[in-house]
Amino acid sequence: MKTLKFKSHLCDQILDGSKTSTWRLFDDKDLQNGDELEFLNKDTGETFGTATITSLYTKTLGTLEDKDWEGHERFASDEEMYSTYRQYYGDSVDKNTEVKLLSFAFTPTEAKIYNKVVVVDEEDNVIGAERMTDAIERKMIRRASRVYVFNQSGQLLVQQRSEKVLKPLMLDQSAAGHVDEGETYEEAAYRELEEELGLTGRELELIATSFRTTDFYNAIYRLTIPDDTEINFDPEEIKQVLWYDLATLTIKIANEQEKFTPAFKEAWALLGDKLKS
């Protein structure tokens, strides 16, 4: 399946139905009418939907007419249009540049990045809910639930994030995510545990709540499972799961910090000893 990437504000327009076409210069994907496409958020790497090309034709930028703008965002002037596309394609863009104009039928995914997440004040009081991308851009404090899964041998499950999600291929805590609108910390923890690792019917142990890290207030949970438990992780979110004894993990985090997500490193540094006990 061919992939097209969009900036966050354009993703929002596609999701709300106001953007139903896109233009591509110097097409290196050989886009054709009828092609099935995967749509990605360029800023986060998240898949937010799929689409089918329903019409496609080629013009030059200097010959665009009003009808060509249907379903596409407008520019204030031709110069603004050329300047915008030069940022993506280089200084050679001008009125003679060919552009493929394609309309599409879009199907959104259920990606959590477009759910509304709980945002709070400095005291962890709920002040509303915002789309995750908007909350991040506005540097709002969000709620998150984090689950650390241990086996009976004392090893911690560490997930390697998939190529398709934010912070691709980095090592992360066992299961974690934002608290969605209408959820409690606990409800979010059980949801993430099932969605990411396929674990259900387990009782979580609360380690800390309203625990502040740089961008979040968190609830931290621990779960211990038998060594032979099958982990049916979601391959859309996780590339693989790894089991680390805690001494080895501590050394690895110290020596290979770039491989771990900032949230994992920060939470582990502040709460690792409590989780181990």
Shared domain check, 248 and 121: yes
Summarised one tens digit per residue, pLDDT across range 130-172 is 988 788 888 999 999 999 999 999 999 999 998 777 788 899 9
Shared domain check, 100 and 117: no
Summarised one tens digit per residue, pLDDT across range 18-53 is 899 999 999 889 999 999 999 998 877 788 889 999
Number of domains in the chain: 2
Shared domain check, 172 and 67: no
pLDDT (0 to 100) of residue 110: 62
Summarised one tens digit per residue, pLDDT across range 42-91 is 877 788 889 999 999 999 999 999 999 999 998 889 999 999 889 888 88
Shared domain check, 97 and 174: no
Shared domain check, 162 and 144: yes
- State how far the Cα of 200 lies from the Cα of 211, in Å rounded to an integer: 25
Boundary (domain end) residue, out of 92, 108, 124: 108
**Residue numbers of the domain that contains 118:** 112-276
Element (H, E) at 212: strand 205-212
Shared domain check, 121 and 45: no
| Residue 3: both structure tokens together | 């992939």
Summarised one tens digit per residue, pLDDT across range 202-252 is 999 999 999 999 999 999 999 999 999 999 998 878 999 999 999 999 999
Shared domain check, 183 and 54: no
Boundary (domain end) residue, out of 45, 80, 108: 108
Shared domain check, 116 and 100: no
Q: Is 31 helix (H, G, I), strand (E, B) or coil?
A: coil
Boundary (domain end) residue, out of 76, 92, 108: 108
Cα 133 from chain centre = 9
Higher pLDDT, 108 or 62: 62
CATH at residue 256: 3.90.79.10
- Has residue 9 got a pLDDT over 90? no
Shared domain check, 139 and 251: yes
Question: Residue 114 — very low, low, confident or very high, per pLDDT cuts 50/70/90?
Answer: low
- State how far the Cα of 274 lies from the Cα of 209, in Å rounded to an integer: 13
> What is the DSSP code string of 75-90?
-SSHHHHHHHHHHHH-
Shared domain check, 132 and 88: no
Q: What is the pTM of this model?
A: 0.65
Shared domain check, 170 and 60: no
Phi, psi dihedral angles at 107 (to 5 degrees): -125, 115
